[in-house]
A and B are shown apart, each in its own frame.
Chain A
Amino acid sequence: MIEVTGIKEIIKPENLAYRRTEVLIDNTLSYCPGCGHGTAHRILAEVIDEEGLQSQTIGVSPVGCSVLLYNYINVDIQQAAHGRAPAVATAIKRLLPDKFVFTYQGDGDLAAIGTSETIHACNRGENILIIFVNNGIYGMTGGQMAPTTLPGMKSTTSPLGRNVKTMGNPLKMTDIVATLPGTYYVTRQSVHTPANVRKTKKAVRKAVQYQKLDRGTCFIEIVSNCPSGWRMTPTQSNKWMEENMFPYYPLGDLKVPEE
């Protein structure tokens, strides 16, 4: 009894060390347990909140697992056709240049069907932030092979493993856009440990500041897991990601502004 009373003494609003930002809506996430999307959403929402940008933000959600982004982040959001988010965001930013404009896209959306829109928005140096969540698979449709699926990796459409001779090699879109003069800041991060969460948040915060400078496209890849699509537990999937995804998609900055 004494112990319970003690806990009640501690659980008080003034003692809160961590609270949910109001920019993150209190809805049950549609993501599978252990998926990185929820963490990536929280990072984005926190930065929008901390930078005081809620009234200035227009987001674009993709087709894929994060199609329902607008149910979770409390800003104005447009849902784009599959792969077209960078084109949609281009028009938003051109017509409302003072607003903070971002897209949030998966690897099927950004690196397969939307390759053209991604490369050309980056090549024009559209002053937007593109957040690219790469989990190497089509999650929403049930685990099909993505352009980023690793060689030998099994999926429902590569059940014998990705054969690079017939299916091609995984596409490193982040490396490609880093070569374009239009991009200003290109980085690859992850959200599977507290240290990586902090690094990703720092990257998002930088991108927000860079957008105010009007210097070009900011592109943040978040290498993430897909426990359901990979047929693993969340813990297994994070270990597998470290051992297999990171060697192919090494974390770190690919292009940083000269400051």
Chain B
Amino acid sequence: MEKELRLMKGNEAVAEAAIRAGVDGYFGYPITPQSEILEYLMEANPAESTGMVVLQAESEVAAINMVYGGAACGKKVMTSSSSPGISLKQEGISYIAGAELPCLIVNVVRGGPGLGTIQPAQSDYFQSVKGGGHGDYHLIVLAPASVQEMADFVDLGFELAFKYRNPVLMLSDGAIGQMMEKVYLGPQKERLKVFADWATTGKPDTRDRNIITSLDLDPNGQEIFNHKLQEKYNVIRENEVRFEEFQTGDAEYLFVAYGTSARVCQKSVQLAREQGIKVGLLRPITLFPFPTKRINELTGQIKGILSVEMSAGQMIEDVLLAVNGKIPVRHFGRLGGIVTTPEEVVENLKTNIIGG
């Protein structure tokens, strides 16, 4: 079936893609700059078309716990928010990871800390990739760089979530959430009809009761479970790394950037090449798992890396680990909701990497 072409905001694209992906339930709470997701879904009223439940929760905390309840029934459920709201959800996200439940969480990041600002930022990288909540767990983190990817990563997110029984986080930002672009939308999918054997759907005589919990009071049992989780994360690291390269073939220098920063850096590559600087771009699409192996391979060819991020330097830690001291790595980024310009990035490449 042919895809439908629409002009949409990133937030609207997530909402429409969720309906078309056959999502069973969305539970959200208003916060700028992502309220359009909940607004679009309420307006579209998919309860009438696909049967999808859309509920405005009383809090971010309630919303993520509704996701827990729905995911534990084996349903395709999701929530979305922006930075301060995602902080509130962290307890629930830890429980979801601990109970190994599949779900999709969308973070349309704004500047922090605290109430911060409503403009786009990338300062939630550590929270998304290194944990956020308590305990040793990882989310699978997808970083869209376009409205199209915000739509596409709904399907991809659920695919990965169910494949690994693991929560997936789509780490977008206020720029991609708010801007309008053309987007190709897939056909309407049917909602799930068959549910996983672990789901709490009511215990028939033919099976034992299903229990969804993250509790094991026996530390030996909890250690065994933690090892099992770590094995799962290693399989994810092995199989699910996604990234995109732009003009890296002959590159002597490299930008590493995701999301909005990657779009800026694509322009910076053009500008620098006009000045005779051979620079390329590596755009991680998955932030967990991180394209560690590929970045390490490139150190044979690259003289220096500029890690560009709208933060004070968070992703750079993963770039440094990948590079393992072989070549210089520096960070450049604007803070507090300011989007970096392509010119600033080129200037910084010249002073910090080439001249530095």
Chain A residues in contact with chain B, CB under 8 A?
Answer: 54-58, 60-61, 67-68, 70, 74-81, 84, 87-92, 94-96, 99, 116-117, 120
A117 CA to B200 CA, complexed, in Å: 21
B55 within 8 A of A: yes
A79 CA to B204 CA, complexed, in Å: 20
Given known A94-B55, A116-B59, contact A99–B68 (CB-CB < 8 A): no
Chain A minimum-CB-distance residue to B200: A76
Choose from B25, B204, B212 the contact partner of A77 (Cβ within 8 Å): B212
A95 CA to B200 CA, complexed, in Å: 12
B interface size (C-beta, 8 A): 38
Chain A contacts for B222, CB-based, 8 A: none
Whether B202 lies near A81 (C-beta < 8 A) is no
Sample (9) of A-B pairs whose CB atoms are under 8 Å apart: A74-B209, A76-B210, A77-B210, A78-B68, A78-B211, A80-B68, A87-B65, A88-B69, A95-B69
Whether B214 lies near A84 (C-beta < 8 A) is no
Whether B209 lies near A70 (C-beta < 8 A) is yes
Whether B215 lies near A67 (C-beta < 8 A) is yes
Whether A79 lies near B58 (C-beta < 8 A) is no
Chain B minimum-CB-distance residue to A97: B53
Whether A81 lies near B72 (C-beta < 8 A) is no
Whether A55 lies near B204 (C-beta < 8 A) is yes
Whether B55 lies near A81 (C-beta < 8 A) is no
B283 within 8 A of A: no
A91 CA to B68 CA, complexed, in Å: 8
Chain A contacts for B55, CB-based, 8 A: 90-91, 94
Choose from A74, A81, A89, A91 the contact partner of B77 (Cβ within 8 Å): A91
Chain A minimum-CB-distance residue to B203: A76
Given known A58-B201, A84-B62, A96-B201, contact A90–B69 (CB-CB < 8 A): yes
Whether B210 lies near A88 (C-beta < 8 A) is no
B91 within 8 A of A: yes
Whether A84 lies near B73 (C-beta < 8 A) is no
A79 CA to B99 CA, complexed, in Å: 9
A92 CA to B200 CA, complexed, in Å: 9
Given known A78-B213, A94-B25, A95-B24, contact A84–B58 (CB-CB < 8 A): no
Whether B203 lies near A74 (C-beta < 8 A) is yes
Given known A58-B73, A60-B69, A92-B69, contact A79–B211 (CB-CB < 8 A): yes
A-B CB proximity, top 9 nearest: A91-B69, A88-B69, A79-B213, A76-B200, A120-B58, A84-B65, A91-B66, A87-B65, A91-B70
